Amino acid sequence: MAFSKVASILQSLVDAVIGKEPKIQWTLDNPSTVGKKIVELLEAGSYQDLRNLLTRRIRWLLSTNKLETSWKSVLDSQGKVVSVGEGEVTKSGDVTIVRFPLVLEKIAIKVVVRISTSGHVTSIRAVPDHSNVPWSPPDYVDETLFEESEVTLGADDRDVPASLVLPHSSCAAIIMLQGSGAADRNSSVGQLKPFKDLAWGLASKGIASVRFDKAAFAHAERLSENITLEDEYIYHARAAIALLRSGSEVAGLPVFILGHSLGGCIAPRVGKEEPSIAGLVILAGLTEALQRSAIRQMKYINTLKDKTYHVSEAVLDAAAKQAELVESPTLSLSTPASKLPFAVPASYWLDIRNYNPVSTAAGLGKPMLIMQGGRDYQVTLKDDFEGWKKGLGGIVGVEFKVYDDMNHMFRKGKGMSSPDEYNVAGAHVDGDVVEYISRWITQLSLPPLDQHEMLRSLVYKLLGLSDARFDALDRATDMLSKLSSQAIIRALTATSMKLWAFQIDFPRFDIETSMILQSTRKCIRDLDRAVALRNVDLAAHSSLIGSEEFREKLIPQKALGLAIQLSNTLAPFFSNASPHRELPSDWVGFSTWGEDIEEWTARKAHFIDLFTKALIAKADSCLNSRDYELVSYLPGTPFDNTTMKAETIEGAPNSARNHEGRRVQLCIEAAPFAHPVREIARDASVAEAIVSTANFISRDQNEKRAFKPMVKAVVILFEDN
């Protein structure tokens, strides 16, 4: 039985025996003064008088000693009281709710007090107060490119206010999850509003967003006594996804989860609950246990020369005991919140201690961008970032990015980071971070295949799908949405090389229509048999494909054409150039890949080089004693160790057996195979003797002989359920 139910039963028994408590009339008549009175009693050390204001149930939990210890802990960590403001009074049913501002030396908070019909205080909660902190847009924001509106997430007593940011032209959307505690939608801390920086910065680059006040901030007085991660994050994240899906402007766009600090830790949990999301952006995501992270941070603070934020040994000892209780097998729903870190109920700790963010993320099969500041003392490279790398390193679609000189709020600095860095007026999230996230999301956004015929055709070839299949479009979209941009682009590039370079014919002499040539070939065949004809053809081919005209002119021209064809096919993934930009004189279709001329010209050169080498390899194979095959395993192909012979990333034989019983999800790098060609007998038929100009052929499985892979294929496997 939960502690709250036990307490309620005991309360009823006491009321029956000794009667209900007498009313406290002044709290009912002048509720706006309750805040000042509570602080006055605490300041004066009148803890018993304060206890008398509390409802009987809370008095059982809070002795005068506990009140004294708790208040001194607040003063020790946050400084002396600076001011107490007038209370704002509202009603919720029979309950009177008073909110009043309290300013301490190190923090400004808003205290929420609930008063029962008898005038007793039933709860006291505090949330940060950033209402008076000024904010102006950073330089990387262009306010003409988007609109922000106020929306509500959730229903009934679980609703929270939120901000919806819609660019005039959107390519994707994100939902933002703040760190621990009662955070507002901007994830405000000190003078900083990092989520507003990110939301407006990303909106300037075409990325929509939803950010919301956490329930603990919006209505602390309504929080469940058995709060879990569902109440703190997941319920409202789910509501944000539904909001985006219902909006015509962004309904069909990919939706990403962006989490910071504890929000980054919880992002994989949201991804698991909502499989439709396109990927995760994890900023300084926690992997260390929350209760241990808090202690480590306090110890770090005590190493700073400035003692303003130092905490006492008593506070550290209390935190250690609370952490031990969280980790104890005796922790249960009946464990009082007052004995646990941050006075958060046991239900929360039971939920979070049974959750592993790294293993959850590894099981999603989604693209992820994990970013970290090297100077971050709250979430560190050693204690947290390495946890992500250890569990997710090597997984296709997971990218790691470290900014050595940035802190927890992704601002640059030098030396040891400290809380003072959060109190710099006019400071913002670094523009490099916004740019990096924007580029990663933009390049990952899957364009609608039904609107791009060339791309759809190449994707279908890659995935082994046919237009005749009624669900081909849905299957293709679903499969690609689970992969990173790098995997998709590499796989499509390999497919284009296979189809457009290796599986096309060079000029063939056996179909030449010249009567003179046909007569000559017939004479050679009749007199000297097929082998002689083959030798003549080899000599002719050698002269053709070895010529300067063929090597220095025809192949480069063909390579350029194929490079442009591939660029135009892939352009929907990258198109973010201004439609009115002035094009360079040598433009050949590549500027659809962005405004940066150095970037798209480098891509142009790279694609031309790829196709040039492919065509040269194709030409050389025509005169070789082997036939070649470019093997690209179709999705769904069963793993066969006898033909695939898995290797580690380092190239050593893979002795692990975890690849058995799986199927190919996607082949992102095809493998060229060499097949031995048997010698031609003197009396062979002409068909057998004809020189092949399509040596990179696709063989059926039963036609494969003693092949030898020249380069291993790279595939993503999945469980065959």
pLDDT in tens, 626-643: 778 888 888 888 888 777
Each residue's pLDDT tens digit, 109-125: 888 888 888 888 888 87
Which of 159-173, 259-273, 689-703 tops mean pLDDT?
259-273
- 10 Å CB burial of residue 548 (0-12, 13-18, 19+) is exposed
Q: Is the pLDDT of residue 583 over 60?
A: no
User: 3-state DSSP call for residue 672?
Assistant: strand
pLDDT of residue 484: 62
Q: Is the pLDDT of residue 349 over 60?
A: yes
What CA–CA distances, in Å, run from 595 to 143, 601, 640? 20, 11, 45
pLDDT of residue 507: 62
pLDDT of residue 704: 64
The CATH 3.10.450.590 portion of the chain extends over 22-128
Assign 516 a pLDDT band (cuts: 50, 70, 90). Answer: low
Among residues 698, 696, 637, the alpha carbon closest in space to that of 666 is found at 637
Helix 262-273 to helix 235-246 angle, to the nearest 10 degrees? 60
User: 3-state DSSP call for residue 665?
Assistant: strand
- 10 Å CB burial of residue 91 (0-12, 13-18, 19+) is exposed
b/e sequence 319-348, b meaning 16+ C-beta within 10 Å: beebbebbeeeebeeebebeebbeebbbbb
Q: Is the pLDDT of residue 464 over 90?
A: no
Q: Is the pLDDT of residue 7 over 60?
A: no
pLDDT of residue 594: 58
Distance CA 416, CA 511 (A): 76
Q: Is the pLDDT of residue 663 over 90?
A: no
- Of residues 27 and 51, more confidently modeled: 51
Distance CA 225, CA 91 (A): 20
Among residues 688, 651, 693, 652, the alpha carbon closest in space to that of 509 is found at 693
Q: Is the pLDDT of residue 578 over 60?
A: no
CATH fold of the domain at 143-288+356-444: Rossmann fold (3.40.50)
Distance CA 51, CA 59 (A): 6
- 10 Å CB burial of residue 62 (0-12, 13-18, 19+) is middle
Assign 200 a pLDDT band (cuts: 50, 70, 90). Answer: very high
Each residue's pLDDT tens digit, 547-569: 888 889 989 999 999 998 998 88
User: 3-state DSSP call for residue 332?
Assistant: coil
Each residue's pLDDT tens digit, 678-700: 677 767 776 666 666 677 777 76
pLDDT of residue 415: 93
Output the DSSP codes for 464-533: T--TTSTTHHHHHHHHHHTS-HHHHHHHHHHHHHIIIIITSPPP-GGG---HHHHHHHHHHHHHHHHHHH
Output the DSSP codes for 391-447: HHTT-TTEEEEEETTB-TTS-B--SS--GGGGG-TT----HHHHHHHHHHHHHHPPP
The CATH 3.40.50.1820 portion of the chain extends over 143-288+356-444
Among residues 131, 136, 105, 202, the alpha carbon closest in space to that of 425 is found at 136
Q: What is the DSSP letter of 106?
A: S
Assign 50 a pLDDT band (cuts: 50, 70, 90). Answer: confident
Each residue's pLDDT tens digit, 64-87: 888 888 788 788 777 888 989 888
CATH for the stretch 22-128:
3.10.450.590
* Mean pLDDT across the chain: 83
Assign 660 a pLDDT band (cuts: 50, 70, 90). Answer: confident
Q: Is the pLDDT of residue 542 over 80?
A: no
